[in-house]
Structure 1
């Protein structure tokens, strides 16, 4: 049981959350005092239901009746405001869920700006390519040099890298051993480019990567992948705090990575 919350507290919570009409009544009373007939005009409930809700709220001293009108008490206002905040947080959690569920260890210090639904693009059954399409657009809008981490390799990203290199953009790129193996078997040209092109420095991380991250001169794009390495969501930001966080994350991953040439040399020896 939550600290400081007894059975009565849970019962009161269950009363409030038991139907949307109860919250709707409190919302109307938060605006102004009202009679039951007034509430029937604005809340989708019968008069009998309204009376029961008002009785339950009065019993809990969230509502008082004065001169024939019901109004919120100070505690009733606080209950409504806190519950409204909770509903907003739950709605945001539902929206950001496709990102938050696939972030791995970096979720512990994730900047709150990246949890803003306005920063988010998610894939869905209706639009399964939404995130990858937006990430591709982000790459086409790059300004300045790029630092990136990727747990996957695709022709889409390889083509975007070619375009960047042709404009003189310098790329620092971190992959893992599974990406290296896939590149060697399916994208040998891209692997050769990552090894030989003067404007790209490729590193191989010592463990499997579970996020994608890209930074240009001022922007950050964080990518979340599911267990099958499908891109589920991306979050974008140009906030200074987010950018500093992303630089720290990238540097941390690079410290645990080796240059591609060194990794390939070891493989050849073995």
Structure 2
């Protein structure tokens, strides 16, 4: 299967989606416009806000919002609608592609299932019209191929001479822009539960670098899946562990505490958010106490806010990034694990940003509110 006809499985809906169709529907319908409108207004917005801004039929907006929610690009809480990190990255990927070709050209290119394969075939060698019958897996008629090539020549994507057609540099740029968009959208679909929960301010991840990342989802039907994955990541060969947690889990915290007490694990540093820190203080089965004399020792650093993100950095070789529900007690978690250098670098930069904001417990007012 080529990039031109790639499919992606959406874990949120269980649908297998044709990426080209998703791009075309965003362009040919008002779906992209709805997403842009939400982004241009102050989040969160209501459906009435969107309808008043772009004035389509109310039912059409509702349909688009349902699809965008299924894709993980918007979240809806009662009547409030806001863009997710996935929605922001979706718009960014489109904007990058549209620097090379227009919405009209992108819509034309993705409207049928043969235009992209014709253009892609020409990247390897020039072809005459009749030669496409063997070059393509499912070729259309010669007359259809001629019409497509004529359109491509008019746009300077393809050049023709002596009956042969070859792709131009402009055509290669167009194909490259589409390929990048399709690759990004594939990851946004396949990692949708994670992008749906990732805080929008962290929508800076290099999307395509997630292709080899492992996704784990925890929900009421599989409540321990992410915890099991997190515990399995422990590796005695890791020299240094840095972590951030925005949710308290007794088993995970006690396990890492024992590893530290008996010096059987890596040197590690942990950041927790404010609610997690006070949960540590209150929970009798953990028995944590602030050590006033141990400012550079084993006490966690504390973010003086609540958060919905978890970070684990294993040396500089592997990272785990967990994203939690914005509301609730974290029963719904999505986590990616990656060894890709680009994702590792992104996660370390993210961790260091929060570390600069964190305080030692002795610098805080020790009251929950």
Q: TM-score when scaled to structure 1?
A: 0.72
What secondary structure sits across from 1:65 in the alignment? Answer: strand
More displaced stretch, 161-170 vs 123-132: 123-132
Given that residues 322 and 335 in structure 2 are in contact (C-alpha distance below 8 angstroms), is that contact kept between their aligned partners in structure 1? yes
Q: CA deviation digits over 1:93-129, x for unaligned, max 9?
A: 4345544443326526x564x8621562213599966
- Structure 2 match to 1:158: 253
* Alpha-carbon offset, residue 154 of structure 1: 1.9
Q: 2:321 aligns with which of 215, 218, 222?
A: 222
Q: CA deviation digits over 1:145-194, x for unaligned, max 9?
A: 54422111224413431441243155543333433555566x4221x145
Q: How many residues align?
A: 256
What CA distance in whole angstroms lies between the structure 2 residues aligned with 1:140 and 1:160? 13
Given that residues 201 and 259 in structure 1 are in contact (C-alpha distance below 8 angstroms), is that contact kept between their aligned partners in structure 2? no
Deviation >6 Å, runs of 4+: none
Q: 2:361 aligns with which of 255, 258, 263?
A: 258
Q: CA deviation digits over 1:62-115, x for unaligned, max 9?
A: 22333333222333233223322332333344345544443326526x564x86
- Structure 2 match to 1:21: 114
- Structure 1 match to 2:144: 49
- Structure 2 match to 1:137: 232
Given that residues 281 and 289 in structure 2 are in contact (C-alpha distance below 8 angstroms), is that contact kept between their aligned partners in structure 1? no
Q: 1:233 aligns with which of 326, 332, 335?
A: 335
- Does residue 188 of structure 1 match 2:272? no
Q: Within 5 Å, which residues of 2 pair with 1:1-270?
A: 9-41=102-134, 42-47=136-141, 48-104=143-199, 107=202, 110=204, 112=206, 116-118=209-211, 120-124=213-217, 131-141=226-236, 143-168=238-263, 169=265, 171-180=268-277, 182-183=279-280, 187-190=283-286, 192-193=287-288, 195=290, 200-219=298-317, 220-227=319-326, 228=328, 229=330, 230-237=332-339, 239=341, 241-242=345-346, 245=349, 248-255=352-359, 258-259=361-362, 263=366, 266=367
More displaced stretch, 198-207 vs 30-39: 198-207
What secondary structure sits across from 1:31 in the alignment? Answer: coil
What CA distance in whole angstroms lies between the structure 2 residues aligned with 1:202 and 1:167? 18
What CA distance in whole angstroms lies between the structure 2 residues aligned with 1:91 and 1:233? 17
Which residues of structure 2 form unaligned runs of 5+? 1-32, 34-94
What CA distance in whole angstroms lies between the structure 1 residues aligned with 2:358 and 2:227? 24
Given that residues 272 and 303 in structure 2 are in contact (C-alpha distance below 8 angstroms), is that contact kept between their aligned partners in structure 1? yes
Given that residues 102 and 226 in structure 1 are in contact (C-alpha distance below 8 angstroms), is that contact kept between their aligned partners in structure 2? yes
What CA distance in whole angstroms lies between the structure 1 residues aligned with 2:340 and 2:145? 48
